[in-house]
């Protein structure tokens, strides 16, 4: 303690007492961030230059050599600041400052998604170079810039000598992008924080994240009889994307009549549907609009457009016609689950969303894969799973429900809680933005990996979101501003 005070008085002499009447206060934290402006920029550049896309696991490098290199570099930076560091077998690492029984955590990640084709970038994706007062490269926004901004926030608290009652950890995850076991490894080895934030999303603060359930509805189907039969239905490309295209092959004695019906249906509904006739075979193609399944209401579901048309045909009764009826009745073009659940599940934390994203039907089986997200205030078991199973039961349609791995429960903090109020207040103080409200998102952030944690920055409302995109870059002023916000936030949570 004595040494620290000696250093601290020395620092005051160097910087000049003009800056501080007496001792630094929390209001002086921005000064300490400004003092490290060049260092924060350089550290971000250095870390961006490590192309830490998750790769093949190696000895002591479960997320691959490049990610291990990024983790080593980040921890070396922390040691250079005088912080202690721990590397948990390459899965995850952290730095810790302060004393106290409890700790608050900042959880970010060092892995990045692929840069895609480097030729698509204005500047090379791992250059970390500065152009137009911005640092360019993969990871500048997601999430190397933000986690370093938080680290320099902690350094500012240390440099200012502000007393804290709790310890602070900055935790460097390595497997966020591919949702690997980095944080579960941490949870198995370490005590848990009492509170914290992840700088891996948006300002002002994300107080609500939806729960996620993905499931298949599948079953075997008997033969179709008569002069009209569906040979196959395929569509969709991923479980998290509203399908852009779906195709059905229909066998009909009067194929031209089916093609004409398709044209009429397309005109009446304004769905983009087309039919190609080849003898007794009609191939019907549906084009939709693909968007992320976290907001299916802004897309157009090609699969459900196609099923709507097939359902409008005079199909002879069969297992498949019953399945199509079920899908059209309880999913249809709806995205809010109204028909399935008997009511719209809307709470303060948002509205339920549901999207049929994949389909495979052939002459003996049918399978649909659904992405469902539900807001805080809704119970996944009693309000989602049980009603769904009951619906399948009562209709006797013969589809089995099977859930995918990785279901999650919603995250929700009332905006009135002191935790959210504190983070909002700091954001407002530093930005002057008092209109943007706490955010509710359909996606799942790193905040769900540790208790009592929310996503807090680092993307500002007026900043272009370039996560996972070509030409990812961060404006240096935004980076510095986020560091000032993080310094104060860490201080307020740990004081
Ligand atoms: Zn991220």
For the chain, the average pLDDT equals 94
Spell out the domain ranges in the chain: 22-209+410-494, 211-403
Is the pLDDT score of 346 beyond 70? yes
- Per-residue pLDDT tens over the stretch 133-147: 999 999 999 999 999
> What is the per-residue pLDDT for 20?
56
> What is the per-residue pLDDT for 342?
87
Q: Distance from the CA of 110 to the center of ligand 1, in angstroms?
A: 8
* pLDDT greater at residue 377 or residue 304: 304
- Dihedral of CA 370/373/377/380: which sign? positive
> What is the per-residue pLDDT for 2?
47
Q: Distance from the CA of 274 to the center of ligand 1, in angstroms?
A: 40
Phi, psi of 396 (to 5 degrees): 55, 35
Q: Distance from the CA of 275 to the center of ligand 1, in angstroms?
A: 42
Phi, psi of 298 (to 5 degrees): -95, 5
pLDDT band at 348 (very low <50, low <70, confident <90, very high): confident
Lowest-confidence segment of 3-7, 219-223, 280-284 by average pLDDT? 3-7
Q: Two tokens at 230?
A: 């569906």
Q: Which residues of 160-195 are buried (b: 16+ CB within 10 A; e: fewer)?
A: bbbebebbbbbbbbbbbbeebebbebbeeebeebeb
pLDDT band at 9 (very low <50, low <70, confident <90, very high): very low
Q: Distance from the CA of 173 to the center of ligand 1, in angstroms?
A: 10
Out of 3.40.1410.10, 3.30.70.360, 3.10.129.10, 3.40.190.10, the CATH code matching 211-403 is: 3.30.70.360
Active-site positions?
A: 111, 176
Taking the model in full, what pTM does it have?
Answer: 0.81
Lowest-confidence segment of 106-110, 343-347, 403-407 by average pLDDT? 343-347
Share of the chain above pLDDT 70, in %: 96
Q: Distance from the CA of 52 to the center of ligand 1, in angstroms?
A: 13
Q: Distance from the CA of 147 to the center of ligand 1, in angstroms?
A: 10
> What is the per-residue pLDDT for 16?
46
> What is the per-residue pLDDT for 19?
54
Of 292, 274, 62, nearest to 175 (Cα)? 62
Distance of CA 158 to the CA centre of its chain: 32
Q: Distance from the CA of 364 to the center of ligand 1, in angstroms?
A: 42
Is the pLDDT score of 33 beyond 60? yes
- What's the half-sphere exposure (Cβ side, CA atoms, 13 Å) at 90? 16
Q: 């504190």: which residue's tokens?
A: 422
> What is the per-residue pLDDT for 1?
43
- Per-residue pLDDT tens over the stretch 427-484: 999 999 999 999 999 888 999 999 999 999 999 999 999 999 899 999 999 999 999 9
**Complete edge-to-edge strand list for the sheet that includes strand 211-220:** 272-278, 281-287, 245-252, 228-235, 353-361, 365-374, 211-220, 400-403
pLDDT band at 21 (very low <50, low <70, confident <90, very high): low
Q: Distance from the CA of 414 to the center of ligand 1, in angstroms?
A: 24
Q: Two tokens at 42?
A: 């350089």
Phi, psi of 38 (to 5 degrees): -65, -35
> What is the per-residue pLDDT for 442?
86
Q: Distance from the CA of 458 to the center of ligand 1, in angstroms?
A: 10
Q: Distance from the CA of 221 to the center of ligand 1, in angstroms?
A: 43
What number is the average pLDDT over the span 15-31?
76
Is the pLDDT score of 385 beyond 50? yes
Q: Which residues contact 1 (CB under 8 A, 6 or more apart)?
A: none
Is the pLDDT score of 85 beyond 80? yes
Could you name the CATH architecture of 22-209+410-494?
A: 3-Layer(aba) Sandwich (3.40)
Q: Residue 441: count other Cβ atoms within 10 Å of its Cβ.
A: 20
What number is the average pLDDT over the span 369-380?
94
Q: Distance from the CA of 143 to the center of ligand 1, in angstroms?
A: 5
* pLDDT greater at residue 16 or residue 28: 28
- Per-residue pLDDT tens over the stretch 157-203: 999 999 999 999 999 999 998 878 999 999 999 999 999 999 999 99
Q: Distance from the CA of 109 to the center of ligand 1, in angstroms?
A: 7
């Amino acid at each position: 303690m004595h040494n620290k005070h000696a250093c601290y008085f020395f620092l005051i002499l160097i910087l000049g007492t003009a800056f501080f009447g007496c001792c630094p206060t929390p209001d002086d934290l921005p000064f300490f961030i400004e003092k490290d402006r060049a260092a924060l920029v350089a550290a971000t550049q250095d870390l961006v230059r490590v192309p830490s896309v998750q790769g093949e696991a190696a000895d002591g490098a479960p997320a691959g050599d490049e990610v291990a290199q990024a983790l080593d570099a980040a921890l070396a930076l922390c040691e250079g600041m005088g912080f202690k560091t721990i590397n948990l077998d390459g899965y995850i690492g952290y730095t810790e400052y302060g004393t106290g029984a409890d700790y608050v955590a900042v959880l970010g990640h060092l892995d990045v998604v692929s840069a895609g084709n480097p030729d698509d970038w204005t500047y090379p994706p791992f250059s970390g170079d500065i152009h137009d007062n911005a640092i360019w490269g993969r990871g500048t926004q997601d999430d190397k810039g933000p986690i370093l901004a938080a680290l320099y926030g902690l350094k500012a608290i240390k440099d200012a000598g502000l007393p804290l009652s709790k310890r602070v950890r900055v935790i460097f995850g390595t497997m966020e992008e591919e949702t690997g076991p980095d944080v579960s490894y941490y949870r198995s080895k370490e005590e848990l924080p009492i509170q914290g934030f992840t700088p891996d999303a948006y300002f002002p603060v994300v107080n609500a994240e939806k729960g996620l359930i993905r499931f298949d509805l599948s079953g075997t189907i008997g033969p179709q009889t008569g002069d009209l039969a569906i040979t196959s239905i395929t569509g969709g490309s991923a479980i998290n994307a509203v399908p852009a295209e779906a195709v059905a092959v229909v066998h009909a004695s009067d194929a031209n009549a089916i093609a004409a019906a398709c044209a009429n249906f397309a005109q009446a509904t304004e769905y983009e549907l087309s039919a190609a006739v080849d003898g007794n075979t009609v191939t019907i193609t549906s084009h939709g609009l693909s968007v992320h399944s976290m907001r299916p209401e802004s897309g157009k579901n090609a699969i459900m457009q196609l099923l709507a048309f097939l359902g409008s045909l005079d199909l002879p009764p069969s297992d498949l016609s019953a399945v199509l009826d079920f899908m059209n009745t309880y999913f249809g073009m709806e995205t809010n689950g109204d028909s399935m659940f008997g009511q719209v599940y809307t709470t303060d934390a948002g509205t339920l969303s549901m999207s049929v994203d994949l389909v495979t039907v052939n002459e003996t089986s049918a399978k649909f894969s659904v992405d469902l997200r539900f807001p805080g205030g809704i119970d996944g078991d009693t309000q989602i799973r049980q009603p769904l199973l009951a619906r399948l039961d009562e209709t006797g349609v013969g589809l089995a429900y099977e859930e995918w791995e990785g279901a999650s429960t919603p995250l929700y903090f009332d905006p009135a809680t002191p935790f959210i109020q504190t983070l909002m207040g700091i954001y407002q103080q530093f930005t002057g933005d008092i209109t943007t409200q706490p955010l509710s998102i359909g996606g799942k952030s790193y905040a769900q990996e540790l208790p009592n944690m929310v996503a807090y920055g680092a993307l500002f409302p007026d900043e272009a979101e370039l996560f996972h995109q070509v030409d990812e870059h961060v404006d240096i002023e935004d980076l510095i501003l986020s560091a000032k916000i993080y310094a104060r936030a860490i201080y307020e949570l740990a004081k």
